[in-house]
Amino acid sequence: MSAGRRTKRALVLALPWVAVGLLAGAAEIRPTRDYLSPELRGAQDDPSRHPGWLWVEEGESQWRAGGRSCQSCHGDIGSMAGVAARYPAVAADGALLNLEGRIERCRTANQGEAAFGYESEALLSLTAAIALRSRGMPVAVATEGPAAPFLEEGRRFYETRQGQLNLACGQCHDDNAGRHLRGDVISNGLGTGYPAYRLDWNTLGSLHRRLRACSLGVRAEQLALGSPEYLALELFLASRARGQPIEAPGLRR
């Protein structure tokens, strides 16, 4: 038996639905909330049943905190409406920044304080509170001009088979969306619900934390939170999600 056939055989044994999915037609992108159980979807919409709101409230007080507060320059946090829908975006100096990265820039360059750090409570809280101001708004990232090379890099990452399972992202999130895998319903793998409160984590977490879980799931290398690879991938995910509503802060099992 050829190596190729052996690999295929192993894959079929490990994940029978993947083989079926390879034959499936072109992917249709649906809002992530459509894939949630009715219970989770209901709680995602209900602040009194959504633990992520503790982070939102913390982020709102963080917004007003300190001498040179975010508020002192930006005014009410309501001024952040629509901002999350435009990130990741390329900054004037050519760096690709996601919302977390943009906040960290203001933290260091404009507030003159030490960076919060990726996955810190303060950064997750501010990100959640700011993203909430775009809830329901359609994703509208820029993908042309300076963003184009990053988009291509992200697309390559998305389309490359990875890890011991030798699977590309789309083999699950395009070809097998709607199917069950280890108790989850596979969604289209959009970033629109992040940061999200995941019951399994028992806390709020960033999109990059979730991406690390998918990398681990296919036994591929887990990249650092905020790494250039995950940033480019985040931009590509946002381009796939264009027109889909922001759901952050999401609620996940």
Side chain identity at residue 174, one-letter code: D
> Least distance in Å: CB of 144 to ligand HEC?
17
**How many Å separate Cα 197 from the centre of its chain?**
12
Residue 32 binds ligand HEC (CB under 6 A): yes
Residue 233 binds ligand HEC (CB under 6 A): yes
* Catalytic residue status for 73: no
How far is it, in rounded angstroms, from Cα 74 to Cα 84?
A: 15
Residue 172 binds ligand HEC (CB under 6 A): yes
Residue 68 binds ligand HEC (CB under 6 A): yes
- Please tell me whether the peptide bond between 249 and the residue prior to it is cis, using omega within 30 degrees of 0: yes
Write the binding mask 72 to 91 for ligand HEC: x where contact by CB under 6 A, - elsewhere: xxx--------x--------
Strands (E), 82-144: 89-90, 96-97
How far is it, in rounded angstroms, from Cα 141 to Cα 235?
A: 8
Side chain identity at residue 42, one-letter code: G
From the list 6-14, 39-47, 65-73, 140-148, the region that binds ligand HEC by CB under 6 A is 65-73
**How many Å separate Cα 27 from the centre of its chain?**
19
Q: What are phi and psi of 41, to 5 degrees?
A: -65, -45
178-217 residues in contact with ligand HEC (CB under 6 A) are 181, 184, 186-187, 189-191, 193, 196, 210-211, 214, 217
From the list 6-14, 19-27, 40-48, 99-107, the region that binds ligand HEC by CB under 6 A is 99-107
Residue 218 binds ligand HEC (CB under 6 A): yes
Q: In 10 A of CB 218, how many CB atoms?
A: 17
Which residue of 43, 126, 131, 232 would you call a contact of ligand HEC, by CB under 6 A? 126
3 state SS of 110: helix
Q: In 10 A of CB 64, how many CB atoms?
A: 12
Residue 151 binds ligand HEC (CB under 6 A): no
User: Contact, 59 vs 127, CB < 8 A?
Assistant: yes
Residues that bind ligand HEC (CB under 6 A): 32, 68, 70, 72-74, 83, 92, 102-103, 106-107, 110-111, 126, 130, 158, 167, 169, 171-173, 181, 184, 186-187, 189-191, 193, 196, 210-211, 214, 217-218, 233, 237, 250, 252
